[in-house]
Amino acid sequence: MAVKKKKTSRQKASPAVRERGTISIRNVTKIYDPEGVNVMAVDNCSLEIEAGEVCMIVGPSGCGKTTLLNVIAGFHSLTSGEIYLDDELLCGPDKPLANQGADRMVVFQNGALFPWKSLLDNVAYGPMVQGILSKSDARDKARDMLAEAGMIDVADKFPGEVSSGMARRAEIVRALINDPKVLLLDEPYRAMDALTKSIMHEALLAMYDRTKVTIFFITHDLEEAIFLGDRVVVMTTRPARTKKIVSVKIPRPRDYKLLSSEQFRLLVEETKDAVHEEAIKAFEAGERELA
Amino acid sequence: MTDAIQSAHDTTIVVAKRSKLRKLADNKTLWRGIASIILFILFWEVSSQSKVWFGIQVPFIGKVPPPSAVLENWVEVVQRPGYWQSWYLSFMRVFFGFIVAMIVGIPFGMALAVNRYFRDIFFPPFEVLRPIPPLAWVPASIIFWPTTELSIAFVTFLGAFFTIVINVLGGARTIDVQYLRAAQSMGASQWDLFRRIILPGTLPSIFTGAAVGMGITWEVVVAAEMISGGGQQSGGGLGFFIWSSYMGGSLAQVVVGMISIGIAGYFSSSMIRYIGYLFMPWRRIF
Ligand SMILES: Nc1ncnc2c1ncn2[C@@H]1O[C@H](COP(=O)(O)OP(=O)(O)OP(=O)(O)O)[C@@H](O)[C@H]1O
Ligand SMILES: [Mg+2]
């Protein structure tokens, strides 16, 4: 019985070609607090993300990456420009704040599993509150998905009882159970040691190969960006615009041997140069503000 | 959530079965606690027996009856039904006031937290009334309520009410916005948000408020019983017990009353802690 169920969920979760999840960001500007002290966080930023693409966003600290993600997710309004998801307007001049919806799932910078629910109940939450599945069906499906991600042993634990890496993986499963078009990740593996990170990357790539969900992934770690991404978008210092887009034409599935290859090293160098230039600008701008 | 409680509970039972006694015997904290209480009693006994230390009159402790005298008095007092009646009365007053404060205070605090209009209207008067110490309400309360019992209950209620409300409000307003965002993007309705996010997210603060509120209720009940003389109609209570012992000149009995309140308060807060433990399985330390 359980085996049977698993099969169907696997079939559903892996469509052969992903036809949905295109994000089109057109001339987006975001100014915080238009009345008072204006902070322009994003300036006339345009970016096309294909369905099923892993798009990595890098850029100096405080440049406006999180802001852009928040606008896509519907947590913040935009000031001007438009964002489309599969030709459907998310937000634009007449509708500055996008609806929050399960088609765009966010995995937060600091982790946002509900501490009062077990990992299993966290994962079951979405389908249950949307009324798609009954509580017990949602829990069955959540159990299957946690098993698929190799986390069945900790399914009944509370987030406070597992490592941060485990919690972050469960959070991604919690997002995926909603079958989103896009996964929005904001530095999910920040402050993890290199070893944990590599395990996270493996798990994420395995998950990606199963679902081919579009991924919008913010990071400061350039090796992570190249290793995971199809493209790496380097943002300018605040206000954020796209400065450079590095295409990573390394075939999938990828594994860790890649890290020592010449191709990989060159791509990291290329990205690093662009980011470094912006970081220096950001630093100098900071100095000027202080002076 | 009930399932989660159940499964966590099962684990606890397994652990408990394995080595409850052994754990108890190994528990250093417990032994230290017992040792320090015994030491304290010994110190008390010795120092109240010898009123003069190295030729110096000890100002305070020399006047306190020794634990042996207190114990002797206690043995005698527990045989009187009046003593147990006092326990009963104080407990009823504390719990009545406390439970009403919880029933009124939690929804009130929640409403303040989630509804702007409600907050705009009710928060200002609440903040004006909050700093008034519960005991300052005693005279007004006696005039206002028809019986002494009700006025004591009212003052007790106030003692817990303000603390509970302010904790619930603070707790509900400081829930991490990311939990709300996550729930909303997963399709939670307003009601889901309240029931599955705000409510459990506020539980720790509710229990903090309850624990502090419980402490205040005991303070208030004892003082109110002393002031109102326990009431001709109602009579008794541990506060009144202390007061009448004092009037009767039995210092040992005063100490018996004091320790009784200490035990009662400890018992009450243990109960709150235990209920908190049952309600918040994710906060248990394994
Ligand atoms: N709610 C807000 N109100 C006003 N200003 C804000 C707000 N949120 C962010 N900002 C400002 O907007 C700018 C961009 O912030 P954002 O968080 O998007 O940067 P980031 O690229 O994600 O930085 P980091 O890499 O440090 O996470 C910053 O200068 C920040 O101070
Ligand atoms: Mg950020």
Q: DSSP string of A31-50? A: EE-SSSS-EEEEEEEEEEE-
> CB atoms < 10 A from the CB of B141, how many?
23
Weakly modelled stretches of chain B, pLDDT under 70: 1-20, 51-62, 229-235, 285-286
- Examine the fold and report which residue of B34, B64, B94 is the final residue of a domain before the chain moves on: B64
Mean pLDDT within A27-32: 91
Contacts of B61 (CB under 8 A, 6+ apart): B44, B47, B48
Give which of A129, A143, A185 to mutate to test B binding, by max B Cβ within 10 Å.
A129
Nearest to A123 by CA among A73, A166, A85: A166
Q: How big is the CA angle at A160 (ends A157 and A161), to the nearest 5 degrees?
A: 45
In a domain, A3, yes or no: no
pLDDT at residue B285, as a whole number:
56
CA A48 – CA A45 distance, rounded (Å):
10
My answer on whether omega of the bond before B81 falls inside 30° of 0, hence cis, is: no
In a shared domain, residues A212 and A251? yes
pLDDT at residue B236, as a whole number:
79
In a domain, A2, yes or no: no
In a shared domain, residues A187 and A92? yes
pLDDT tens for each residue of B143-185 = 899 988 888 889 999 999 999 999 999 999 999 999 999 999 9
Contacts of B233 (CB under 8 A, 6+ apart): B147, B148, B149
Report helix angle A119-129 to A164-176, nearest 10.
20
Position A240: which residue type?
A
Q: Is A128 exposed, middle or buried (0-12, 13-18, 19+ CB in 10 A)?
A: buried
> CB atoms < 10 A from the CB of B52, how many?
9
In a shared domain, residues A186 and A51? yes
For residue A236 and ligand 1, the question of a CB distance below 6 A is answered with no
In a shared domain, residues A71 and A190? yes
- Examine the fold and report which residue of B40, B64, B88 is the final residue of a domain before the chain moves on: B64
Residue B159's domain comprises 68-283
pTM of the full structure: 0.80
The tokens describing A168, both together, are 């972050």
In a domain, A6, yes or no: no
In a shared domain, residues B146 and B56? no
Report helix angle A135-148 to A2-13, nearest 10.
80
Q: Is the pLDDT of residue A16 over 50?
A: no
CA B180 – CA A61 distance, rounded (Å):
25
Ligand 1 centroid distance, CA of A64 (Å) = 5
Q: Which residues of B touch A105 (CB under 8 A)?
A: 185-186
In a domain, A214, yes or no: yes
In a shared domain, residues B222 and B176? yes
In a shared domain, residues B45 and B179? no
| Helix, strand, coil shares, percent, chain B, to 5 | 80, 0, 15
In a shared domain, residues B78 and B60? no
Residue A131: helix, strand or coil by DSSP? coil
Percent of chain A with pLDDT over 90: 58
Ligand 2 centroid distance, CA of A165 (Å) = 19
Mean pLDDT of chain A: 87
The tokens describing B5, both together, are 């409680």
Among left, alpha and beta (phi > 0; psi -120 to 50; other), residue B250 is beta
Mean pLDDT within A112-122: 95
User: Can you give the C-alpha Rg of chain B in angstroms?
Assistant: 23
Domains contained in chain B, number: 2
CA B199 – CA A114 distance, rounded (Å):
12
Among A75, A102, A115, the residue with its CB nearest the CB of B186 is: A102
pLDDT tens for each residue of A197-214 = 988 998 899 889 888 999
Of ligand 1's listed atoms, the one at least distance from the Cα of A69 is 18
Q: Do A116 and B203 touch (CB under 8 A)?
A: yes
Q: Is the pLDDT of residue A158 over 90?
A: yes
Domains contained in chain A, number: 2
pLDDT at residue B17, as a whole number:
52
Lowest mean pLDDT among A34-43, A67-76, B138-147, B275-284: A34-43
pLDDT at residue A1, as a whole number:
38
Q: How far is B282 from chain A (nearest CA, A)?
A: 6
Q: Is B36 exposed, middle or buried (0-12, 13-18, 19+ CB in 10 A)?
A: exposed
